[in-house]
Structure 1
Amino acid sequence: MPIADDPHQPPHRPEPNGADPFDGLLLDEDFVRGAAVKEPSARTRMLSARWRLQEPVDPGGRRWSPGGPRTLWARWSQWLDSRGRIAMAVLCGLTALLAAVTYWTGRSPGPAGRSAPHTLRQPVDAALPGGGIFPGSKCGSKGFHHFALPPADAGGDLGTPTPGPRLDLGSHGFASLSADDPGVFTFGLLISPGTAGALELSAPFGPEGVAVEIEGPEGLIAAAHHLPVTLDSDDARTPEGRIRALTARVTMPAAALCPGYGGMAVAQGMTMPVDAHSTITGPPPYTLHVSLSDPAVGALRRASGAPVAGDVLTADNLLH
């Protein structure tokens, strides 16, 4: 019968030079690979299923997920993704707004009062709504005038008596009633017969009506000829059917604009620039000419001894 070890004695230790009991043991690799893996306990499976629905919260208030703590780069990437989506939405909105503003005003970012440059396909001549002809083939050309302009009138400032007939601009502007209304230009004309007698024009207002040209640094940007005229007085027509008017109004539709230009921007460009003291600082960016031609003009000039010859009367938006 074996004798039990004395509990007060140190435990039995194998001799240092004793043989290793596992020495020479051969492991079967196929047996190890085929060994079944211990499945997680029921509690582990329950917690894993719960974590898939809601991240647990520890008593300290911190949150974690089964996949482990999120790295700083993961947080930064998600922040960039959210900010990127917001920035893209804002950029798309600004692009749409700029496109709408450019469409309705014909203006692009650049110096104030200037329209988008004429870069579209060259238009063709066409009839205008309400009367008149748009010389679209002349868009972009420089120095074009339907009526050849006479030399500068030496008669002096507006209101100064002149020996021959004279045409001046009383007003000019652009108006549009709504976003769906393309708008029209309106020009107020002042006719002075001079000191030699009355000026009686052929109907409708000279045989060919009135011509308008607006030119900018890029060339012709708006034009029309054979435009009808509205007389401000019923007494302006003589019994013989001629026109003896002192004032009249001419309207030109926005269809007379060359592609790439807006009516409001062009109207602003026809006004003279001023400083803070309302002092004119230079010529307007866009030059306006309104003209008519009638043989009666030349006849009255010859009768009055006017220094300017020819049948054309013209007015512009420049200082003389």
Structure 2
Amino acid sequence: MSVRSVLGRRALQAVCVLAVGALALAGCSNSEDSGPAVQKVGGIEKVDSIAAQLPDKIKQSGKLVVGVNVPYQPNEYKDPSGKIVGYDVDLMDAVAATLGVKAEYLESAFEKIIPTIQAGTYDVGMSSITDTKEREEQVDFATYFNVRTQWAQQKGKPIDPDNACGKRVAVQATTIQDTDELPDKSKKCVAEGKPAIDIKSFEEQSAATNALVLGQVDGMAADLPVTVYAIQKSDGKIEKSGAAYGAALYGWATPKGSPLAGVLQKAVQSLIDNGKYLEIAKNWGVEEGALTKSVVNGATS
């Protein structure tokens, strides 16, 4: 979620930005969203050699208990029926099928996911969690996506991500864009004698997107799949600004020292090798961040 920061993701926000004649996006801070029309990828068969390595608890129950925080479109969010859906969900479902089990999704506050994994309540944490060295001290990760930052601007109103001094830029609170990237860019502006970036933090990504659509900010910075999704939902009102930059890995969190991270990594790699992984990524329009190799604990910082 953005590259989710170590501080956590977000609190739910009830306040919605409204304007006469303007479009409110993504349910206007509502976790329910009709989303794109995405068809499930079929034909995924159990791989016995990988499934045999599952911890006994999961073999016996026949399910993976997955803690997830929503909304974070398009990775994980609720459809109008209240079902948790998204790119992460489709990929985890495919992994579960590879392992011959079912994924059971339990909604959680983001900051509670890792402690609940440590307590043994969740088998897996799946919430666009960035694999970091600090987090690897608490849990292990099976990596599944390369995430970068992508800026957006209003249609025809350019903003340069490398020279946004004095501009108003929307971000979701506590994301890496909010806590690290934009503050660093702003400090560079000030050091060069230019005005600081006016960073506008919102509790939910949908509110940040709304602010850009309504012209209340000049630009927006978020994780690449999140920005692409926001553009798709904007009816042409916003567009990409500059190229995506940076690199980090999303990972599924598992108990420290458990064999589960390695099992999930092998299942993801199996889906990469048989083409199902890329098919799922393309269905959601996030293939730009697709991996060719999944690893356990791939953080570099």
Shorter-chain TM-score tier:
under 0.3
Larger Rg: 1
Normalised by the length of structure 2, the TM-score is: 0.18
Instruction: Say which structure is richer in helix.
Output: 2
Relative contact order, higher structure (CA 8 A, sep 6+):
2
